[in-house]
Structure 1
Amino acid sequence: MRDINIRATEYFESVARLGTVTKAAQELGVSPSAVSQQLRILEEQFGVKLFRREKRRLILTLDGDRLFQTTTQAFSAIRNARGAISRQRDTRNLTLRVSPSFGVRWLGPKIANFATENPDWNIRIDATPDFTAFDTEAVDFDLRYGLGGWTGLTVNNVIHDLVLPLCSPDYLASLQEHSDDPREQIKAARLIDSVKMLYRWDLWLASNKIEIEGLTYPFRFDRSSMSIELAKQGGGLALDSVTLCLPELQRGELVPFSTNFDVIDFPAYWFVCPPRHFNRRIVSRFASWLQSSADEHEAGARKFLTGLGCSFRPESGPELIDVKPWGI
Structure 2
Amino acid sequence: MIAPRRFLPSISSLLALEAVARLGTATAAANELALTHSAVSRQLKVLEEQLGIALFERRGQGLALTPSGIDYANSVRDCLESLARASLKIKANPSGGSLSLATLPTFGTYWLAPKLRQFSQQHTEVTVNLGTRLAPFDFNREQFDAAIHFGRRDWQGVEYLELARERVVPICSPDLVAKPPVSAQQLIRMPLLHLESRPGAWEDWFEHHACPAEKLHGMLFDQFATMAEAAALGFGVALLPEFFAKDAVKDDRLVRAFKEPMELPHRYYLVWPKSVTPRAPLEQLVNWLSEATDPDLSVD
TM-score when normalising by structure 1: 0.53
User: Is the 1:167–1:236 Cα contact (8 Å) retained in structure 2?
Assistant: yes
Assess, with a 3 A threshold, how the Cα gap between structure 1 residues 182 and 243 changes in structure 2: closer, same or farther. Answer: same
Q: How far does the alpha carbon of each residue in 1:26-65 deviate from its partner, in whole angstroms, 9 at most, with x for none? A: xxxxxxxxxxxxxxxxxxxxxxxxxxxxxxxxxxxxxxxx
Q: 1:187 to 1:175 in 2, by over 3 A?
A: farther
CA RMSD of aligned residues (A): 3.7
Q: What corresponds to 1:197 in structure 2? A: 198
- SS of 1:236's equivalent? coil
Contact map agreement 1:143 1:269 (CA 8 A) in 2: yes
Q: Which runs of 5+ in 1 are unaligned?
A: 1-80, 302-328
Q: Residues 86 and 206 from structure 1, CA distance in 2 versus in 1: closer, same or farther, beyond 3 angstroms?
A: closer
Which residue is 1:308 aligned to?
Answer: none
Determine if the alignment matches structure 1 residue 174 to structure 2 residue 173: no
- The aligned counterpart of 1:131 is 136
Give the equivalent residue in structure 2 for 1:272. 271
Displacement after TM superposition at 1:273 (Å): 0.9
CA distance 1:171–1:109, shift in 2 (3 Å):
farther
Measure the CA separation in 2 of the matches of 1:255 and 1:98: 28
Checking the alignment, whether the CA contact within 8 Å between 2:169 and 2:245 is kept in structure 1 is no
SS at match of 2:178: helix
Describe the superposition over 1:150-201 as per-residue Cα deviations: whole angstroms up to 9, x where unpaired: 3332122211121232234x2464265xxx9614431442211122126511
How many angstroms apart in 1 are the aligned matches of 2:227 and 2:88?
43
Q: Which has the larger radius of gyration?
A: 1
199 and 119 in structure 1: CA distance in 2 versus 1, 3 angstrom threshold = farther
Q: Secondary structure at the match of 2:270?
A: strand
C-alpha contact (below 8 Å) 1:167/1:237 kept by paired residues: yes
Structure 2 gaps, min length 5: 1-83
The structure-2 alpha-carbon separation of the partners of 1:267 and 1:290, relative to structure 1 and needing over 3 Å to count, comes to farther
Query: Does the 8 A contact of 1:190 with 1:237 survive in 2?
Result: yes
Relative to total residues, which structure has the larger helix share, 1 or 2?
1
Alpha-carbon distance change, 102 to 245 in structure 1, aligned in 2, over 3 angstroms: same
1:186 matches 2:192: no
Cα deviation, 1:105-148, whole Å, max 9, x if unaligned, reads 43235432322222222221111224342234442111112211
CA distance in 1, matches of 2:112, 2:182: 37
**Equivalent in the alignment of 1:258:** 258
| Distance change (3 Å), C-alpha of 1:133 and 1:173 | closer
Q: CA 1:290 to 1:256, structure 2 compared with 1: closer, same or farther past 3 Å?
A: farther
Q: Is the 8 A contact 1:105 1:245 kept in 2?
A: no
Q: Which position in structure 2 is the counterpart of 1:29?
A: none
Farther-moved stretch of structure 1 (276-285 vs 266-275):
276-285
Q: Return the offset for 1:93.
A: 0.8
**CA–CA distance in 1 between the matches of 2:233 and 2:114?**
21
| Change in 2 beyond 3 A, CA 1:224/1:291 | farther
CA distance in 2 between counterparts of 1:86 and 1:106 reads 25
User: Residue 99 of structure 1 contacts residue 127 of structure 1 at CA under 8 Å; is this kept in 2?
Assistant: yes
Q: Which amino acid aligns with 1:174?
A: A
For these two proteins, the number of residue pairs brought into alignment is 213
- Following TM superposition, by how much is the alpha carbon of 1:232 offset from its aligned partner in structure 2, in angstroms? 4.3
Match of 2:241 in 1: 241
Distance verdict in 2 for CA 1:300–1:140, change over 3 Å: closer
CA distance in 1, matches of 2:215, 2:233: 25
